[in-house]
Structure 1
Amino acid sequence: MIKENGNISIDTENIFPIIKKWLYSDKDIFIREVISNACDAISKFQRLVSLGEANNNGDDIYKVTVSVNKEKKTLKFIDNGIGMTEEEVKKYINQVAFSGATDFMEKYKDKMDEGKDIIGHFGLGFYSTFMVSTKVQIDTQSYKEGAESVRWECSGGTEYEIAPSEERKTRGTTITLFIDDESTEFLEEYKVREIIKKYCSFLPTEIYLEDENKPKEEPKYETKKNEDGTEYQELVEPEAPKPLNDTNPLWVKAPKDCTDEEYKDFYRKVFMDFNEPLFWIHLNVDYPFNLKGILYFPKLTHEFEATEGQVKLYNNQVFVADNIKEVIPEFLLLLKGTIDCPDLPLNVSRSFLQNDKEVSKISNHIVKKVADKLVDLFKNSREEFNKFWPDIQIFIKYGCLRDPKFYDKIKEIVIFKNLKGEFVTLKDYLEANKEKHENKVFYANDEKQQSQYIKMFKEYDLDAVILDCSLDDHFISFLEMHEAGVKFNRIDSDISDTLGSKTDENDETAKALNKEIEELFKTSLGDKIKNLSVEGLKNEETPALILVSEESRRMAQMSKMYAKSGMSFPGMFDEEKTLVINNNNAIIKKLLEVYKDDGKKDEVKFICEHILDLAKIANKELDASEMDEFIKRNNQLLSKVILL
């Protein structure tokens, strides 16, 4: 070989500054690119060996070694793959964006097994090395008989030098980076290890890391004891280095070949989460695109954890990024998992998806598989599904809100816990209660706060569902839009129509009594409550309770939401409350008698205000000023009692 100098063939002037600044979003990606190319070179050689077009001379141990030398400021990537001839170096290195992998695959496309694609078909990966280097050196030896070893050097301009290599005399390639002063972090062994773990944990070739500045461990003698207690010296070899990656990740296996324990171990290893996942979905698709992966439904300690999902996207076992919304719909990002899809149309930096209709197809397929798994679990393992519901409901409801097509697939399996603690579908609930309140769904969103209303419903043999998910306010509005005629009402929003507690219109005595009670409270309370109603409740212990109109409550809630964003409508959307007075209660009956005594109007007013506050507390907490008045009145009440 004759030493040669030349210029790299490029179509864009000053491309290296552009590469350094714009090609990659993170500088550390160069390690991923070079290691991926090394694995690619090994995959090519293995393919040629399997086709009988190359001989490995009995050397079937393939590996990539990354070598750090802080003193010399070099970072080396060494493989025993296919190597390159001088002509191939000129073709694949000197012509920017001409992908060797693409050329190779074109030649052998009819002989490639399914699922055995070559990793490095992105063209510009090698040039990412110039982001951190003052000079890049390649020493390579082709697998071809009689091929000379080659050295290629470039210092970041368009000029290069090719000469014979004295360093590489065996098949494969060594890439040496001379790290610049701004990138010395990549000379730290721990840093390089961290990056390899991040991007290359599942590449198909074993990856080793060594620090050239650390002294190599030598065999040494250790003192051992025989069974009789006598000592002897035994030569102990140093522990063999271990690869940093798992070359056969669980998702590449067929689901039938994976055990539950393997799924759990993989989850713990990848996500460092030692809580067992609830269940998982193993994706394994070969047509119309290649897609493999595992999605886990994590066990949530609290709802806020639902925002901390992590779905890792891979391309031929090369890590690309976390939580790519173009491939994984936003609501699926509440899960944890790995998705490997070689068919993704990535850009040259392998970091971002190009717009492509295939991406949409892949995304839709993933949603379908998730929906199918949930439906299957509901139909065939209902007890398990019910047990998982508290953890998975936020994911399912969020999915319905974000993707109506997802709702169409799983709407029959959305369940609710009722007052009996049973899980029922919307259809089950409506069917069971159609004679009592057709198409109305009563719900409680705070079992403790609304315990009085729940007790009342049970007394009337009525049912309600428990809505304790943070998304439920939005979800019930969504259901009302998609399920014709269905209307959700909170358990404190209606009594008369549901409980049939209205006074008989023909009972003139009762009507007169109710009118007196209503006048008593209107006179005593004034404008403290706008709406009054007198009912006869089964529970005689309760003097009064508050009802809140469902429509006004939702409008008030919406008004508060707008207020947070700077839009305010003070007083326009206040909750419409009704004080329902129980004419069966002994206190109310006695109060009516006292009211007729003109000398006790103040005492009556005092008791009416106290009854109103008790009703408010049963419905929700009093505001600060109301609470002050309530405490003051309680103290007065205690004084009156103690002085009797």
Structure 2
Amino acid sequence: MALTSQVFEFQAQARQLLDLMVHSIYSNKDSFLRELISNASDAVDKLRLEGLRDKDLDADISDLHIRLTPDSEARTLTVSDNGIGMTRDEVIELIGTVAKSGTDELRQKLAEKDPADAGDLIGQFGIGFYSVFMVADRVELVTRKAGETVGTRWESTGDGTYTLDEVADAPQGTAITLSLKPVDEDDAVNDYADQNVLRRLVKKYSDFISWPIRMTVVKSVPGEPGEDGETPEPTVEEADETLNSQKALWAKSSSEVSKEEYAEFYRHISHAWDEPLETITLHAEGTFEYQALLFIPTQAPFDLFMRERSTGIHLYVKRVFIMDDAAELMPEYLRFVQGVVDAADLSLNVSREILQQDRQIRAIRRRLVKKVISSVQELQDRRPEDYQTFWANFGRVFKEGLINDHDNAKAILKASVFASTASETEPTTLVDYISRMKADQDVIYYMTGESRTQIERSPHLEAFRAKGIEVLLLSDPVDEVWVSSGLDFEDKQLVSIAKGVVDLDGDDADVDEEAKTKQQEQFAPLLTWMGETLTDEVTEVRLSSRLTESAACLVGDAFSMTPQLEKLYRASGQPVPHSKRILELNPDNALVTALVGKFDAESDDHADLESTAKLVYASAVLAEGGDLEDPAEVAKLLADALTKNLG
């Protein structure tokens, strides 16, 4: 039974998005054609692959192509392909709604962004189809899935609703017809029903598309002179003109390709609109032959940290498209890389499961990873400003490789930068850190925390500041994980200033060992008593060599979790028991000296000092930006202490 015409409402977010598309984006209306051609190219790729996989598929793959059909009198433009097509349900899912994560963020950015700069958001958020409403008052889409017998017509004016009909005689593929808005007299060069305009735009944006982009053109053919010498009137003939060169950019040397051609190819495969920050070419010969063209983007995509995000590597075999999400070719920490890999002799029947076990795939992956990391290192060395852009957008992701890629961890460390106490604004490489190390320093000091500000206020830094020793300030969540993996750099171990025993005196001749021993004996009874009193909170109480001003601080042992790492695990749903740490006291702090002076080692009753001991512990928790387990109890202890003091 045939379906009747049905009217649907756009998703609420989609209605708002369409309104913004029509009224907010003016900078580059040409982008609609690039998006439609890219979508058509993807559809043809998918049919070609499905035809190779399914020999019984009832679909014509003998002449796959994309066609532009302008009609200047009717003011329409049709972009059609004979690719995979869509079912009715797929039309509703892919065209009728905007269900992608990030839509709210896109709407907010479109609303806030200057109209002159808003066009670059079209591809970034994967809503290229909706760009048609920048140039069209009405859009009709007719499609039939390859292998199906009935097609679907989708129609909308972008006013909040769309209509669906069943089409019995729809051709295989998808045809999108735009009823174009009137030509702006001030912008007549962008008449999208003009064949010359379409030629120019295809050459500029889509020349590299691997399928022919055709347009039927009318040509005037002069007649041949007759025997009487008369030349007849020229005849008018229609002919197909292929508008693009269909050259695979990755198969050409970099000297043959312009920067603009690389940029447009990057935009095509990434569905983005920014410029590539770095272009990487690779031609491998020998046992495994393949070619690769990779790009590091300038801007981070909105879904960079979303689990469902696909990778950006397109896999071809001998110029035949295989898949656009070849996750096995690029590790997760390089998921921002976009590009194409064209292998010479992979099986065309390859599946994702086979890819994971394929020896050639593993070899290609190793080479690509090393090439990308070395390219990041070259940015750091030769183009510092571009490297700063890279690090601001992708540094947090790049550092994930320090956890997941043991083979390349040292190279990743070298290509990374970190905030440090050496500068308030400029991050440092580890190479530069080592060059500034003091003569007797043999480790790289660091501290982790939730923010640079929090770390800088930590009492753990006091002695390091006093002695002019540089400390790395690591505030990204990923830092909490990789620093505990035991990595070293140029044989220098990375050591947390918030763990273990810190001895900054070393062989300092000015240190009075006898005085230190006497001090230790003086404080020993107090330390023992406080350790027993605070046994539920700490494992030990000891004197500190890392404090110069604060009364106390909390430190972990060499292999304990930091409070921040515990929070991360709990936030991810993993139950982690609370780790007790060591309480260190500053023997030169007035509060601590007053406490030891009041403590009577001969007495068995120190109830009057218990609240002070608990407040000293609470102050250490707060000083490092931690959370008190029972703030109400601490508030009461503090109020009692203040009352007693004032009394």
TM-score (norm 1): 0.56
Bigger CA drift: 356-365 or 459-468? 356-365
User: Deviation digits for residues 172-206 of structure 1, max 9, x if unmatched?
Assistant: xxxxxxxx9999896763499xxxx9x99822411
What is aligned with 1:514? 523
Residue 621 of structure 2 is aligned to residue 616 of structure 1? yes
Deviation of 1:615 (Å): 0.4
Amino acid at match of 1:549: D
**1:320 counterpart SS class:** strand
Relative distance call for 1:321 and 1:623 in structure 2 (3 A) is farther
Counterpart contact for 1:529–1:577, Cα < 8 Å? yes
* Residue number in structure 1 paired with 2:335: 334
CA distance in 2, matches of 1:370, 1:295: 9
What's the secondary structure of 1:621's corresponding residue?
coil
Instruction: Give me the whole-angstrom Cα distance separating, in 2, the residues matched to 1:302 and 1:187.
Output: 30
Distance in 1, Cα, partners of 2:606 & 2:615: 14
How far apart are 1:365 and its partner, in Å? 3.5
Residue 343 of structure 1: aligned partner: 344
CA deviations 1:579-612 (Å, max 9, x no partner) are 1111211222333444469999555332222121
Q: Which residue of 2 aligns with 1:189?
A: 175
Q: Could you tell me which of 459, 482, 491 is aligned with 2:497?
A: 491
Structure 2 unaligned regions, length at least 5: 1-42, 52-58, 66-78, 89-143, 151-165, 179-201, 217-238
**Pairing partner for 1:551 from 546, 559, 578:** 559
Alpha carbons 1:206, 1:246 under 8 Å: kept: no
Q: What's the offset of the Cα at 1:334?
A: 0.8
Do the aligned residues in 1 keep the contact of 2:537 with 2:581 (CA within 8 Å)?
A: no
Q: Give 1:339 shift.
A: 0.5
- Deviation of 1:38 after TM superposition, in Å, equals 1.5
Counterpart of 2:548 in 1: which secondary structure? coil
Q: Is the 8 A contact 2:543 2:585 kept in 1?
A: yes
> Cα deviations across residues 485-535 of structure 1 (Å, max 9, x unaligned)?
654332212454235699733566534432354356457646543311124
Q: How does 1:217-616 map to 2 (within 5 A)?
A: 247-248=246-247, 251=250, 254-260=253-259, 262-283=261-282, 289-300=289-300, 305=305, 308=309, 310-315=311-316, 319-326=321-328, 328-331=329-332, 334-341=335-342, 343-348=344-349, 357-382=359-384, 384-385=386-387, 388-399=390-401, 401-407=403-409, 412-421=414-423, 423-426=427-430, 428-430=432-434, 432-433=436-437, 435-439=439-443, 441-446=445-450, 447-450=452-455, 451-452=457-458, 453-478=460-485, 480=487, 486-494=492-500, 496-498=502-504, 504-506=513-515, 510-515=519-524, 517-518=526-527, 521-522=530-531, 525=534, 527-535=536-544, 539-540=548-549, 542-553=550-561, 575-595=579-599, 602-616=607-621
**Superposed CA offset, 1:227-255 (max 9, x none):** xxxxxxxxxxxxx9998988356545542
1:389-408 deviations in Å (ceiling 9; x for gaps): 34443444334544444446
CA contact (8 A) 2:445 2:471 kept: yes
Task: Report SS of the residue matched to 2:375.
Answer: helix
Asked if residue 131 in structure 1 is aligned to residue 139 in structure 2, the reply is no
Q: 1:631 to 1:208 in 2, by over 3 A?
A: farther
**Aligned with 2:339: secondary structure?**
strand
User: What amino acid maps onto 2:558 in structure 1?
Assistant: E
Structure 1 residues 251, 611: CA separation in 2 closer, same or farther (over 3 Å shift)?
same
312 and 563 in structure 1: CA distance in 2 versus 1, 3 angstrom threshold: closer
Contact 2:298–2:390 (8 Å) recurs in 1:
no
Q: Equivalents in 2 of 1:509, 1:560: separation in Å?
A: 42
* TM-score with structure 2 setting the length: 0.55
Q: Greater shift after overlay, 292-301 or 494-503? A: 494-503
Q: Deviations over 1:319-376 (max 9, x none)?
A: 43222134x1323651242204152524358998667544344334323432442343
> Contact 1:444/1:464 (CA < 8 Å) preserved in 2?
no
Per-residue Cα deviation, 1:59-106 (whole angstroms, up to 9, x for no partner): xxxxx97579x9xx9xxxxxxxxxxxxxxxxxxxxxxxxxxxxxxxxx
Q: Residues 539 and 605 of structure 1: is their aligned pair in 2 closer, same or farther, counting only changes over 3 Å?
A: same
Structure 1 residue 578: Cα displacement = 1.6
d(CA) in 2 for partners of 1:346, 1:249: 20
1:314, distance to aligned residue in structure 2 (A) = 4.7
Q: Which amino acid aligns with 1:546?
A: L
- What is the Cα deviation at residue 564 of structure 1? 7.5
Residue of structure 1 in register with 2:63 after alignment: 38
Q: Secondary structure at the match of 1:363?
A: helix
Query: 1:614 deviation in Å?
Result: 0.7
Paired with 1:507 and 1:403, the residues of 2 have a C-alpha distance of 45
Is the CA contact 1:344–1:353 (under 8 Å) kept in the aligned structure 2? Answer: no
| AA matched with 2:314 | L
Structure exhibiting the larger radius of gyration computed from Cα positions:
1
Q: 1:628 to 1:303 in 2, by over 3 A?
A: farther
- In 2, Cα distance between equivalents of 1:538 and 1:565: 35
Mean Cα displacement is larger for which, 343-352 or 356-365?
343-352
